[in-house]
Chains A and B, each alone.
Chain A
């Protein structure tokens, strides 16, 4: 952002102070994530930058913590990863289907009490997790689903649907309903119309909602803390337990893997958002 040469000095100072401040804020946002990466390659078992690391000596770095993460017997990261993936997979499918169907109804012109229903369906996102966790725990304990995958999946569906509802309703706001009417007038039944016409058009919104639901479930720790038994441990639970004891380099290794994963998810979400905007004809 270059300023014209005739800008008075005090404005220039203002402008560069503003840019400098913005730079600091961006640094504050992103830098903490990058502290973790080098530390996960630390050859020593303490969480700080050793002299050898600072001198970029190859001996200061090692992959031993990644080895420990995969083969280590003390930390059940393998079981945790398996559980996390299974739970997140089913929770994503559940919230995506329920959320998309509900969003279709909510976007209909004819839906009565739209705002009230919307407020209710979004509420799991707003209500503090500790309250959701407490309430869901009481329920699951009562129906005998505490410490089961099913119980965790059901509660993650609850927590994931608001995101799907929001993203799909947002996609549907620009939706041209005459295309579905055209399909109907050509003799297509509603299910066929939905599968062939509506779904492909709202797909970007559905997938980005699904990504949100996946991340919500994959990252969720409070509700799982209440519900999980030893068999249901997940990656966030293992991290939580590890962090409460002490910072270990293995956790840094796991965190690095998670950062890489979130980068991939971010890229796909961004691409989807742009595609969705293009499909809806929103050009910025």
Chain B
């Protein structure tokens, strides 16, 4: 008996025809996603890639002193280099002086080794008086540091095009003279404190949010619709209100002459002339961030609790469980997906918070984002800002990945 083939209306075997139709549908789906995908790829993903690139890009010095580095290739890096290096340096520096662009290399070199700033400035000032030939001697005459090999070694050390020095700086480490990784002096270890504080704040804000959100989500999920809708407004109104409005309301509340301090004085916890500082420190960051992020904990918890049938608790009680036992053994385990979703969401949001810590946190309450902003806008060390940003990004994406595994991003609910 020969195998009979079922044919579709256009004469093709059904299987082929079906595959063709499915391929067409697949293409259609991809074509719909493509515009947004390309848009995000070009304006978002590539720029983030560019940021990664900037954080390790160290070609500036090599580009600005090309002849010096070309000559340095023949130098073993032990004793003082020979004449060609100094000749290259002379040509490069005179060019930089002519184009007035030497300012850029000063900061970078001074970071590599202190003392370069005055060395370059003095040399550039006198470079027009140099005579041809015997540059080595003339350089050393201008500044004796040109005769110390450690400065030239430091200069040679900037030769590689890529460097992870900015990442080391982000964890309070640096290269020493011989390219060993060492910790920076104790009084300069600010970034470790900053990372720990960021994690600490994010962790405790998550815990506080959880403690406050769990009971009210339960109440919202178990109350009759008409009451719960009313109470839900208390959660949703802050959620929809501008972040700056909410932060400014905390600034009003927490200021020295503000209502909370008035209350503290009125109760008698503090004297009127000795009002506690509630703002511009880590307390302000904690309180304000907890209130601002609370809706992000309530909403996932609520949507999970809403699906738990009340009859389960009743069954537990009827089988002899006390309310506490029924809660611990029945209700709580069922809410774990909501707890996971809410905690991860709040933690992710808290770890990258910028506006609120900047306004109510002061110096002791500022987080890693504030430092990134500082290096972007004030110190203009964009490479370092990029490195810190990349480190933060890796952390957040790791949590995002866990979130995706545990909760699934398609389960994110909004309102």
Is there an interface contact between B32 and A251, defined as CB atoms closer than 8 Å? no
Is there an interface contact between B33 and A221, defined as CB atoms closer than 8 Å? no
Number of A-B contacts (CB under 8 A): 273
Closest to A108 in B: B29
CB distance from B56 to the nearest CB of A (A): 14
The complex places the Cα of A127 from the Cα of B108 at a distance, in Å, of: 30
Is there an interface contact between A135 and B51, defined as CB atoms closer than 8 Å? yes
A75 interfacial by beta-carbon distance below 8 Å: no
Is there an interface contact between B249 and A33, defined as CB atoms closer than 8 Å? yes
Instruction: Given A102-B33, A169-B410, A258-B241, decide whether A36 and B231 contact each other with a Cβ distance below 8 A.
Output: no
Within 8 Å CB of A111, what residues of B? 26, 29-30, 33
Within 8 Å CB of B258, what residues of A? 47-48
Instruction: Given A25-B216, A32-B253, A266-B236, decide whether A284 and B385 contact each other with a Cβ distance below 8 A.
Output: no
Within A46-65, the residues touching B (CB, 8 Å) are 46-49
Within 8 Å CB of B31, what residues of A? 105
A129 interfacial by beta-carbon distance below 8 Å: yes
The complex places the Cα of A170 from the Cα of B303 at a distance, in Å, of: 14
Report the contact-size class of chain A (Cβ under 8 Å from the partner). 35 or more
Within 8 Å CB of B415, what residues of A? 208, 269, 273
Within 8 Å CB of B372, what residues of A? 130-131, 134
* B contact patch SS: helix
Of B46, B216, B351, B385, which is in contact with the most chain A CB atoms at under 10 Å from its CB?
A: B216
B373 interfacial by beta-carbon distance below 8 Å: yes
Return the contact of B44 from the options A49, A136, A225 (Cβ within 8 A): A136
CB distance from A57 to the nearest CB of B (A): 19
Is there an interface contact between B291 and A32, defined as CB atoms closer than 8 Å? yes
Instruction: Given A101-B32, A108-B32, A121-B37, decide whether A135 and B47 contact each other with a Cβ distance below 8 A.
Output: yes
Is there an interface contact between A239 and B36, defined as CB atoms closer than 8 Å? no
Within 8 Å CB of A215, what residues of B? 240
Is there an interface contact between B409 and A161, defined as CB atoms closer than 8 Å? no
Instruction: Given A25-B216, A108-B25, A122-B409, decide whether A134 and B386 contact each other with a Cβ distance below 8 A.
Output: yes
Instruction: Given A108-B28, A126-B396, decide whether A98 and B39 contact each other with a Cβ distance below 8 A.
Output: yes
CB distance from A129 to the nearest CB of B (A): 6
Closest to A27 in B: B234
| Binary per-residue interface labels of chain A (101-138) against chain B in the complex, 1 for a CB within 8 Å, 0 otherwise | 11011101111100101111111101111111011111
The complex places the Cα of A102 from the Cα of B29 at a distance, in Å, of: 8
Instruction: Given A33-B241, A36-B245, A266-B237, decide whether A247 and B354 contact each other with a Cβ distance below 8 A.
Output: no
B247 interfacial by beta-carbon distance below 8 Å: yes
Is there an interface contact between A226 and B253, defined as CB atoms closer than 8 Å? no
Within 8 Å CB of A98, what residues of B? 35-36, 39
B135 interfacial by beta-carbon distance below 8 Å: no
Within A193-249, the residues touching B (CB, 8 Å) are 208, 212, 215, 218-219, 221-222, 225-226, 236, 239-240, 243-244, 247
Return the contact of A158 from the options B40, B238, B240, B409 (Cβ within 8 A): B40
Closest to A109 in B: B25
Is there an interface contact between B237 and A33, defined as CB atoms closer than 8 Å? yes
The complex places the Cα of A105 from the Cα of B352 at a distance, in Å, of: 31
Instruction: Given A239-B244, A243-B248, A247-B248, decide whether A139 and B36 contact each other with a Cβ distance below 8 A.
Output: no
Within 8 Å CB of B404, what residues of A? 115, 119
Is there an interface contact between A255 and B352, defined as CB atoms closer than 8 Å? no
Closest to A163 in B: B414
CB distance from A217 to the nearest CB of B (A): 12
Instruction: Given A25-B215, A266-B236, decide whether A255 and B248 contact each other with a Cβ distance below 8 A.
Output: yes
Is there an interface contact between A26 and B234, defined as CB atoms closer than 8 Å? yes
Is there an interface contact between A129 and B352, defined as CB atoms closer than 8 Å? yes
Is there an interface contact between A102 and B51, defined as CB atoms closer than 8 Å? no
CB distance from A190 to the nearest CB of B (A): 8
Is there an interface contact between B51 and A154, defined as CB atoms closer than 8 Å? no
| Binary per-residue interface labels of chain A (10-44) against chain B in the complex, 1 for a CB within 8 Å, 0 otherwise | 01001000110110011011101101100100000
A67 interfacial by beta-carbon distance below 8 Å: no
The complex places the Cα of A109 from the Cα of B29 at a distance, in Å, of: 8
Within 8 Å CB of B255, what residues of A? 47-48, 247
CB distance from A222 to the nearest CB of B (A): 6
Within 8 Å CB of B244, what residues of A? 219, 221, 236, 239-240, 243, 255
Return the contact of A134 from the options B389, B396, B409 (Cβ within 8 A): B389
B14 interfacial by beta-carbon distance below 8 Å: no
Is there an interface contact between B37 and A102, defined as CB atoms closer than 8 Å? yes
9 A-B pairs closest in CB distance: A128-B352, A105-B32, A139-B47, A108-B29, A105-B33, A102-B36, A135-B47, A110-B25, A111-B29
Q: List 7 A-B contacts (CB under 8 A).
A: A25-B216, A102-B35, A108-B29, A139-B43, A139-B50, A208-B414, A244-B358
Interface positions of A (Cβ within 8 A of B): 1, 11, 14, 18-19, 21-22, 25-26, 28-30, 32-33, 35-36, 39, 46-49, 98-99, 101-102, 104-106, 108-112, 115, 117-124, 126-132, 134-139, 142, 154-155, 157-158, 161, 163, 165-167, 169-170, 208, 212, 215, 218-219, 221-222, 225-226, 236, 239-240, 243-244, 247, 251-252, 255, 258-259, 262-263, 265-266, 269-270, 273, 284
Interface positions of B (Cβ within 8 A of A): 22, 25-26, 28-37, 39-40, 43-48, 50-51, 54, 212-213, 215-216, 219, 223, 225, 231, 233-238, 240-253, 255, 257-259, 291, 294-295, 306, 323, 348, 351-355, 358-359, 369, 372-373, 376-377, 382, 385-386, 389, 392-393, 396-397, 400, 404, 408-410, 412-415
